[in-house]
Chains A and B, each alone.
Chain A
Amino acid sequence: MQVRVSYFAWLRERAGLDGETVSTGAATPAQLWTELDARHDFATERRHLRVAVNDAFSTWDAKLADGDQVVFIPPVSGG
C-alpha cells in the first residue's frame, strides 16, 4: 500500500521534506507515525500532534487505505 504524507512547520524541517510517498504496511495513522518517526526522528511524541487523512481531521486508529493523504499536525500557532 502507498500513502502520501505531507509535512508542515518543524516536522517539515525535521524530515527535510515537504512530503513523500511511502510504501507501508501501516494499518493506521498511529502505526504510520511510528514508522516515519523511526525514519526521521521527529523528536516529539504522538500525543502532541493531531492527524488528518484526506484533508479532514482523523483519529489515530482510523483504517488507512491505498492512496490516502496523511498529514501530521503539530500544535498550531495561527492568529
Chain B
Amino acid sequence: MFEITDERIEVDSLRRSLMDPGYGGYTAFEGWVRDHHQGRAVSGLHYEAYVDLGQAEGLKILAEAEERFGPVRLACVHRIGDLAVGELAVWVGAAAPHRDEAFKACRYVIDELKQRLPIWKKEHYIEGESAWVDCERCRAAGHGKHDHHHEHAEQPSSEQEEVAG
C-alpha cells in the first residue's frame, strides 16, 4: 500500500493493516518536520508532488523491497501540502516473520523514496523567506546556474536530508 495524501497520516490504522499472525517483527519509520535546516530556523514546509508518477514509483519501490527482503508486508504514506514543525511528513511500516527483514525493508523504502519519489519540499523560514530544497550548493553559491558539476538526478546529495534524516 502506497499513498500520497494531503491529509493527516493516521498511523494506527496503517500499523494494524500490516498485522499478520505469521509476522512477528514490525518496525516503522516516521519523518517529522524539523525546525531548522543548515542554521536557518524553519517555520514549516510545503510539499508538492507529481502524483501520478509518484504513485507508480512508490509502488515500484515497495515491490523491490518485497522482492529483496520478502516475505514482508509494507505500507508507506507521504504527506503533501502545508506542514507545520513536528508534523508527520512520511511514514513507512514493515512487518515480516522476523525483525531483520522488517528493518532492512523499511530502510530500503525510505532511502529509495528520498532519491526517487517526484516530491519537492519548500521550506518556509522564520524570518519570512521561502526556498525550494533542491541544490544546496547552488543556493550556497548564491546563483541559480549549475556551473559546478554534480549529478542530482541520479545521486541526490545527503545534504538534502531535512525531514527523514
Secondary structure dominating the interface of B:
mixed
A48 to B113, CA, bound (A): 18
Residue-wise interface mask of A (1-18) relative to B, using a CB-CB cutoff of 8 A (1 in contact, 0 not): 000001011100000000
Residues of B within 8 A of A47 (CB): 146, 151, 153
Which chain A residues numbered 36 to 54 have a C-beta less than 8 Å away from chain B? Answer: 43-45, 47-50, 52
Closest residue to B156 on the A side, CB-wise? A75
Residues of A within 8 A of B90 (CB): 78-79
Residues of A within 8 A of B144 (CB): 43-44
Residues of A within 8 A of B53 (CB): 52, 55-57, 71, 73
Shortest distance between the CB of A76 and any CB in chain B (Å): 6
- Knowing A57-B53, A79-B31, the reply to whether A49 touches B119 (Cβ < 8 A) is no
Question: Quick one: which of B52, B119, B135, B146 contacts A78, CB cutoff 8 A?
Answer: B119
Shortest distance between the CB of B82 and any CB in chain A (Å): 15
- B153 contacts A77, C-beta separation under 8 Å: no
Residues of A within 8 A of B70 (CB): none
A49 to B162, CA, bound (A): 21
B47 within 8 A of A: yes
- A10 contacts B118, C-beta separation under 8 Å: no
Residues of A within 8 A of B14 (CB): none
- A78 contacts B120, C-beta separation under 8 Å: yes
- A75 contacts B152, C-beta separation under 8 Å: yes
- B114 contacts A10, C-beta separation under 8 Å: no
B56 within 8 A of A: yes
A43 to B152, CA, bound (A): 15
- A75 contacts B134, C-beta separation under 8 Å: yes
Shortest distance between the CB of B131 and any CB in chain A (Å): 9
- Knowing A8-B48, A10-B132, the reply to whether A76 touches B151 (Cβ < 8 A) is no
- B145 contacts A78, C-beta separation under 8 Å: no
B43 within 8 A of A: no
- B132 contacts A77, C-beta separation under 8 Å: yes
User: What are some 6 contacts across the A-B interface (CB < 8 A)?
Assistant: A6-B50, A43-B144, A75-B135, A76-B116, A76-B156, A79-B90
